[in-house]
Amino acid sequence: MYPNLRVIYDSEKPVRCVFNTLVVKTQSLKKKYEGGLAAFVNRYQPQCCKGLAVLCAMGTEDLYEPIEDLERSGLVGQEDFACFDASSLALGVEVMRRLGHETPSDVKLPLTWLKGYARDGGVEVYLVECK
């Protein structure tokens, strides 16, 4: 459809996530995924920044195929990729704010390599080493 299309992903801006989210380290895709980052992007059209490729879906079933594909390629959950419900995380922060609590916008993600903060009903995520 678009011959010689190239992936540009050097943005250092966080990636906005909504609903169910799959976040993959781009370095892991480069090292382990057959065809590298470009193959993953061509297959799933994720949002990308310098350190992450992100897929968002309204239903978790829409993420089953890419997750199974990553695992078949040798990527390891929690180490190379992670899933979470961005809407629930953002909603929790917003509810606390509306109840009058001084709540930081940071969301708690159980990963050492990924940070995020709630903003406008979603979660902005970034790879720790990119900040």
Question: What does the block give as tokens for 82?
Answer: 């992670």
In the three-class reduction of DSSP (H, G, I as helix; E, B as strand; rest coil), residue 42 is classed as: helix
Considering the entire predicted model, what is its pTM?
Answer: 0.84
Rounded Cα–Cα distance for residues 71 and 77 (Å): 8
Maximum Cα interatomic distance, the chain, rounded to a whole number of Å: 53
> How do the domains of the chain map onto residue ranges?
15-130
Residue 130 confidence (pLDDT): 64
DSSP per residue, 79-127: TTEEEEEHHHHHHHHHHHHHTT----SEE--S-SSEEEEEETTEEEEEE
For 68-125, the pLDDT digits (tens) are 999 999 999 999 999 999 888 888 887 887 888 877 788 888 899 999 988 888 899 9
